[in-house]
Amino acid sequence: MNTPFLRASALLAVLPLFVRADALPAPAGPDDFIAHARLHNAALAAATHRVEAARERVGPARTLPDPLLMYGYYLRRMETRQTIGVSQAFPFPGTLSRRAAVAEAQTGVRFQEAEAVRLSMEEAIRTSYAELALLEESIRLVAENKELLDTVAGVVESRLGAGRSASADLIRIEVERIRLEDEQLRLEARRPYLQAQLDALTGRNPAEIFPSLQPLTELVSGEDSPPFADLNLAHNPVLEGIERALAGNRVAIELAQREGRPGFSVGAEWMDARGGGRDEVRLTLGVSLPVWRERYRSGVREARAEQRALEADHLDLRRRLLAEIRQAEDKLRDAERRLALYEGRLMERAREALAAEESAYRAGGSDLLNLIDARRVLLDIERTHRQALAEAYTARAVLRRIFGDH
């Protein structure tokens, strides 16, 4: 357990929450945003501080209660005028070790919670990054199609001057350009929100220039599909946190049972004999009397009920994670299937069809509507291809979060 705690301490030591964020490289990849977030994400810092707070409870749990210092003064003069004593209480044997074990288990739970926060943060960054990269790709594709329309408009104008085209073709071109401009403005309106989302996750200074992103094709090309058959949930931090809580709660049940057993105290008392007699020293031995049995029984029942609740949480979470894994696997396989389709002959054929329509239109053997339709088909295929890239990447991000770093 010491190794994770040392890792948490090392992370805590480099969490400058109120220091200006360093600028990211351009183009910045998701790993660059994640590295930045590990230093500046406030939620991760809070979770790491909770690990440190839990660690500080382990030492005190092992220690005895403070000794009791007593002073007595006789109001009526006697041979003994005043007394000074000290006593130390000792709980039932095994109580202190179990208190420390419960505190250590709680520290392990806090560490796994911090790991879960980190993995969820990284998944959110990868998902937001893919969404923003998809948006940038879509904006670029629309801009390229606007340029293509401008080229076609030039052809239409030349044909119109030669009397081989109707003025209605120019109107169609203008309508299509307005439609693309509207779509481009709609897409660009989403950019500030997605950038702000990444800024919030990574702790970037919003006043800094937002870096350019890697293209989706580069983002996904280096990602391999995880070997599903080789993966298991042994390293899922949320499940592992519940398992540590279960182990700690089993000790808590034993601790609750010992709370109802007698403790002991030993002490010494010095008696001041001012009447001319000899001072005396007295040794004391005390035993606590746990007579309020219902209170201790209630503590045991509470600990056992908590154990049953944790077992149910563990079973429920495992079932939900298995369903989430299945969903992510299905999305990933479907995205990979579409990628294979689009990156194969489909996109190539759509480009060939557009080139053929454009050549035919220039030669006067095709209608403008056929050219516009061919351009729309290619745009849809390219955007669907980018969508599949983003979905494949985000599905892998979900699996990363579920299976941890293993």
Tell me whether residue 10 is in a domain.
Answer: no
Please name the residue ranges forming H helices in 203-236: 216-221
User: CA–CA separation, 53 vs 71, rounded Å?
Assistant: 36
39 within domain boundaries: yes
CB atoms within 10 A of CB 229: 6
Q: Is residue 239 part of a domain?
A: yes
Q: Is residue 7, in this structure, part of any structural domain at all? A: no
Residues spanned by the domain of 130: 17-403
Give the containing element (helix H, strand E) for 40.
helix 30-40
Give the whole-angstrom CA distance, residue 30 versus residue 45.
Answer: 20
Number of domains in the chain: 1
Question: In 3D, which of 226, 203, 251 has the Cα closest to residue 44?
Answer: 203
Where does residue 163 fall: left (phi above 0), alpha (psi -120 to 50 degrees), or beta otherwise?
left
Residues 6+ apart with CB under 8 A from 331: 391, 394, 395
Count the Cβ atoms, other than its own, within 10 Å of residue 354. Answer: 19
Residue 126 burial (10 A CB sphere; 0-12, 13-18, 19+): buried
The residue ranges of the chain whose pLDDT is under 50 are 1-21, 229
Report pLDDT for 134.
Answer: 94
CA atoms of 215 and 218, how far apart (whole Å):
5
Any domain includes 336 = yes
Structure letter (DSSP) for residue 69: E
What does the pLDDT read at residue 16? 41
Amino acid 10: pLDDT: 45
> What DSSP character marks residue 229?
G
Q: Could you tell me if residue 251 is inside a domain?
A: yes
- How many other C-beta atoms lie within 10 A of the C-beta of residue 62? 13
Contacts of 207 (CB under 8 A, 6+ apart): none
Tell whether 90 is covered by a domain.
yes
SS3 95: helix
Taking the C-alpha atoms of residue 132 and residue 379, their distance in angstroms, rounded to an integer, is 19
Q: Are 330 and 324 in contact (CB under 8 A)?
A: no
Q: Which residues, other chains included, contact 124 with Cβ-Cβ below 8 Å and sequence gap of 6+?
A: 201
Cis omega before residue 206 (within 30°)? no
Please give the Cα distance from 17 to 40 (Å, whole number). 6
Give the CATH number of the domain where residue 281 resides. Answer: 1.20.1600.10
Residue 183 lies in a domain: yes
Q: Which helix (H) or strand (E) holds 269?
A: strand 264-273
User: Given this model, what pLDDT does residue 230 score?
Assistant: 55
